[in-house]
Amino acid sequence: MLSSLVFSLFIPSVLSIFSLISTLTLESDEEYAWDFATKDGYLYVAATKVVKINLATFSRVSSISVTGASAFSMALGTDGFLYVGNYVLGTGEAISKINLVTFTEIDTLSLGSGNNYPFTLLADSGFLYAVCKTTPGRIVKINLATFSVSSTLQLASGENGPSGGAISGGFLYVGCSTAPAKIVKINLATFTEEEILPLLTGEDDATALKIKDNFLYVGLWYATSLIVKVNLSTFARVGSIPPDTYGYKIEPHSMGINGAYLYAGTDEYIIKINLTTFSYDSSLDVSLDPEAVLISGIYLYAGHDYSPADIDKIQIAETPIPTYFFINSEPINVTFQINGVSQNAPYNTSTPGNYFLSVESFAISDGTVYYFQYWTVAGIDSYDSALQFYFSGAQNVTATVHFITGRKPPGVAIPFPKPTPKPALPYGINLWLLLLLILILALIIASVYKRLK
């Protein structure tokens, strides 16, 4: 008899959908959705207050006020707390620390004199960086362990009004609101400026910055180019996309990347850019200016500069095909292990990596002993009860473990390759009949020999 466990991994479908699903309007005092963060199935919105949204139901849960200011920017810290930049028109700017478990403000940190307009917050390796839109620009480095200002970097003269930033490979990149725009490369280890990249004439006001595959994508405000592509290896401009009928004005928090596509909020549109060809793909009319964009799963969330704030839920990918383990429970339900954890129920995964599959050498059900026979993984048989398989995320995989009944001792697997059965004797003659025929033949030969003698 045979029992089988089947392990299947599927790849989610490719991007092919770009449509508005629904819009959520916040309450009257929750204005201007300027920035987003997400954690554990909830979306947090900087909309004067900090608003909590349940992504599963796409419904508002609650909101909290931050001390003496309007929530403008936010970042999820490497310590699990949410940090919110408070924008008070150049006076008394501060960072609020939010406990997401209790959804309460538990501490507030003043940024200090002159460190105004914290347009963007970025978290990396135990520190928070506040990009302040001052003249010249300032970057405030905050130690999250002590929740205190570690140091402040003032940019060089003429490097004014930074509003967006991105971190990669130990460097912080900020874009300046100058004509032409400048990209400043900051070494985070030394917290000093390392290099400056001016863009071309007419490419003014760098606002949003995103990084993928060692390329920096810079969104501009009013300019002859809408998005500029920078090679981070050479720190050189390598291309641009001009504005077209689908708008301009990219806000500091209104770009996101998912797979091979970049999405950007422009004047009343969300545009989709193919990063492979670095060209326009399509656009979606959302009627209001998108201030913030965040991608989570197969959805893009766009926040609008409106009172009360609106949040659009936009589907940008097909629903993934489920991934699963399942067990054929006839004749027995076999317990198995994946990466050392016992499983005997459906197991979902699409994560690439090494998978260690193992089963016991035998199992007993209703007094009958079942013995491990072999695994079949991706069409290849293995006669070891424990094996490693690397799932690359780029293929569909089926693994089956076979059990049989019989008299084989526990722990002894049938060798690989499978033994070839010996051919049956002709005409169904068994061993006893063959011995009898040999005896008769010997007697006949002896009798003939005797007569001839």
Going by the DSSP 8-state scheme, the letter that residue 451 receives in this structure is H
The predicted model gives 312-337 an average pLDDT of: 62
The predicted model gives 439-447 an average pLDDT of: 76
Dump pLDDT digits (tens) for 328-342.
333 456 777 788 887
Instruction: Give the model's pLDDT for residue 1.
Output: 39
The predicted model gives 214-224 an average pLDDT of: 91
Domains of the chain: 3-9+321-405 (no CATH), 19-315 (2.130.10.10)
Instruction: Give the model's pLDDT for residue 412.
Output: 44
- Tell me: pLDDT of 142 over 60: yes
- Tell me: pLDDT of 172 over 60: yes
CA nearest neighbour of 209 among 250, 150, 270: 250
d(CA 289, CA 264): 11
CB distance 273 to 265 below 8 Å: no
- Tell me: pLDDT of 408 over 90: no
Instruction: Give the model's pLDDT for residue 360.
Output: 78
For 237, residues 6+ apart whose C-beta sits below 8 A from its C-beta are 197, 199, 200, 228, 229, 230
- Tell me: pLDDT of 363 over 60: yes
Question: Is the backbone peptide bond immediately before 180 cis, with ω within 30 degrees of 0?
Answer: yes
**294 backbone dihedrals φ, ψ, rounded to 5°:** -145, 135
d(CA 279, CA 261): 10
d(CA 409, CA 411): 6
- Tell me: pLDDT of 443 over 80: no
Instruction: Give the model's pLDDT for residue 48.
Output: 93
The predicted model gives 1-24 an average pLDDT of: 58
Range name among 133-137, 189-193, 209-213, 239-243 with the lowest pLDDT average: 239-243
d(CA 115, CA 237): 30
Instruction: Give the model's pLDDT for residue 89.
Output: 54
Instruction: Give the model's pLDDT for residue 453.
Output: 59
Instruction: Give the model's pLDDT for residue 431.
Output: 61
**DSSP class per residue in 273-304:** EETTTTEEEEEEE-SS-EEEEEEETTEEEEEE
Dump pLDDT digits (tens) for 245-279.
766 789 999 999 999 999 999 988 999 999 999 99
- Tell me: pLDDT of 92 over 90: no
CA nearest neighbour of 205 among 216, 217, 218, 195: 218
- Tell me: pLDDT of 352 over 80: no
- Tell me: pLDDT of 378 over 70: no
CA nearest neighbour of 251 among 210, 290, 300: 290
The predicted model gives 272-294 an average pLDDT of: 93
Q: ∠ CA 399-404-409 to the nearest 5 degrees?
A: 115
Range name among 98-112, 193-207, 238-252, 301-315 with the lowest pLDDT average: 238-252
Dump pLDDT digits (tens) for 418-428.
434 444 444 44
The rounded mean pLDDT for the chain is 83
